[in-house]
Amino acid sequence: MPVNLPLPDRQSLYPVQGIRLAVTHAGIRKANRSDMLLVSLAPQSTVAGVFTQNAFCAAPVQVCRSHLEQAKGVRAWLVNTGCANAGTGPQGLANANRSCEHLASLLALEPSQVLPFSTGVILEHLPMDRLEKGIGLLVNQLGQADWLDAAQAIMTTDTQPKAASRRLEIAGRQVTITGISKGAGMIRPNMATMLGFVATDAGLAPDLLQQLTKAVADETFNSVTIDGDTSTNDSFVTVATGESGCHFELADQGSADWQAFHQAFLGVCLELAQAIVRDGEGATKFITIEVQGARSRDEARQVAYAIGHSPLVKTAFFASDPNLGRILAAIGYSGVPDLRVEAIRVWLDQVLVAEHGGRAQTYTEQAGAAVMAQSEMTIRVDLARGNARATVYTCDLSHDYVSINADYRS
């Protein structure tokens, strides 16, 4: 059961002008489930993306990077689940390229105008016959799917589709931002998550869109962790079609219109990123970890991730057991040099847990237990050595995480 993650409401996932969607059942790995998605982008669209830093990055990620560097505008995103096409060597790369060529030939595009995305089992090859048959079906059905269909088509171990949408008026024009994401395990994105797609009908100059995408990824998809495993396939891509008539250039960044757009865009991405944690494999708690008083943002993140990755912290939260010494231990081994433990303070929501190197005088087991019993809580740490801060979102570690991952392929 995901943590406080309502099913997306089809009516509130606003269509984005300039985007057409199709989904199909190709039987890539299992029969009778949507496992392919095609997103067609209006001709004038700008596209940006950030991808996994995993050295064993998947073939489609390599192809995406290469196609984004080429001058031709990207016009289609092609997604399959069931097979990650990662750890597949030269044949994997050939298969990713072949799928782009096949789709391009049907849509009268150059292969480099297609970005391919795969998610699923690593070390196995794409079943090219089924994939190509699926591509044909997608092209025939283009425009018949909506964003909820799209969110469903990219699920793997996700228990729920993940989608978010915002609509705002900018200079008298209605601008929409809608996105989808997927992922529930192997989640500790490094540049992006295991598939996030966000579209807007605002127009953004290419450099502005790339800059926005990187900055927003850092605050959202790059600030969640479930199990500390950075995937081979993480990809977060964005498109700005411009069809709303609203357009932004780099020089517009100081404007109130840009601020409003930026906030809405960030909001969609944060909702999508948090949805991944809320639907984390086996998650029963949604935990926000705020670290302040650090010398640098990197240092704050290092401490936040040490806490967020500790199996002992995570199992204590699963048990609703305020065994909070485990948080101190994680801060202590986070690797930040010269920590002055006497100065560090730790809160659970508003409850001060630790100060002066030990348990706070005012702390009571009852107060700690009351917060632990909630389904959402914030661990706040003040390192008291600087002004930098960072926030990371994570979940607990439960029996179901083990069950899901022990049985994933079977």
List contacts with its own copies (CB under 8 A).
53-57, 84, 86-92, 121-124, 185-186, 188, 190, 227-232, 309-312, 315-316, 318-319, 321, 323-326, 328-333, 336, 339, 341-342, 354, 356-359, 397-399, 401-403, 405-410
Query: CA angle at residue 243 from 240 to 245, to 5 degrees?
Result: 105
Q: What does the buried/exposed string (b/e) look like for 162-185 if buried means 16 or more CB atoms within 10 Å of the residue's CB?
A: bbbbbebebeeeebbbbbbbbbbb
CB-CB neighbours of 291 under 10 Å: 28
- Least separation in angstroms between residue 98's CB and its own copies is 16
Give the pairing type, strands 46-51 and 36-41. Answer: unpaired
> Could you say which DSSP state residue 396 is in?
-
The H or E element that residue 366 is part of is helix 365-372
Residues 6+ apart with CB under 8 A from 196: 179, 180, 181, 221, 235, 236, 237, 269, 272, 273
Nearest to 60 by CA among 30, 34, 20, 99: 99
Q: What does the buried/exposed string (b/e) look like for 350-368 if buried means 16 or more CB atoms within 10 Å of the residue's CB?
A: ebbbbbeeebbeebeeebb
- Least separation in angstroms between residue 410's CB and its own copies is 7
In this complex, which beta carbon is closest to its own copies, that of residue 20 or of residue 297?
A: 297
Structure tokens at 82: 């069931």
CA distances from 366 to 222, 321, 361, 372 (A): 34, 11, 14, 10
Residue 230 annotated to the active site: no
In this complex, which beta carbon is closest to its own copies, that of residue 171 or of residue 319?
A: 319
The H or E element that residue 269 is part of is helix 256-278
- Least separation in angstroms between residue 230's CB and its own copies is 4
CB-CB neighbours of 399 under 10 Å: 11
Q: Hey, what's the torsion of the CAs at 307, 310, 316, 318, to 10 degrees?
A: 100
- Least separation in angstroms between residue 123's CB and its own copies is 4
Give the pairing type, strands 46-51 and 235-240. Answer: antiparallel
Active-site hit among 24, 193, 232, 238: 193
In this complex, which beta carbon is closest to its own copies, that of residue 248 or of residue 401?
A: 401
In this complex, which beta carbon is closest to its own copies, that of residue 151 or of residue 191?
A: 191
- Least separation in angstroms between residue 349's CB and its own copies is 18
In this complex, which beta carbon is closest to its own copies, that of residue 321 or of residue 376?
A: 321
In this complex, which beta carbon is closest to its own copies, that of residue 128 or of residue 329?
A: 329
Largest Cα–Cα distance in the chain? 71
- Least separation in angstroms between residue 331's CB and its own copies is 6
In this complex, which beta carbon is closest to its own copies, that of residue 55 or of residue 108?
A: 55
- Least separation in angstroms between residue 67's CB and its own copies is 20
Residues noted as catalytic: 193
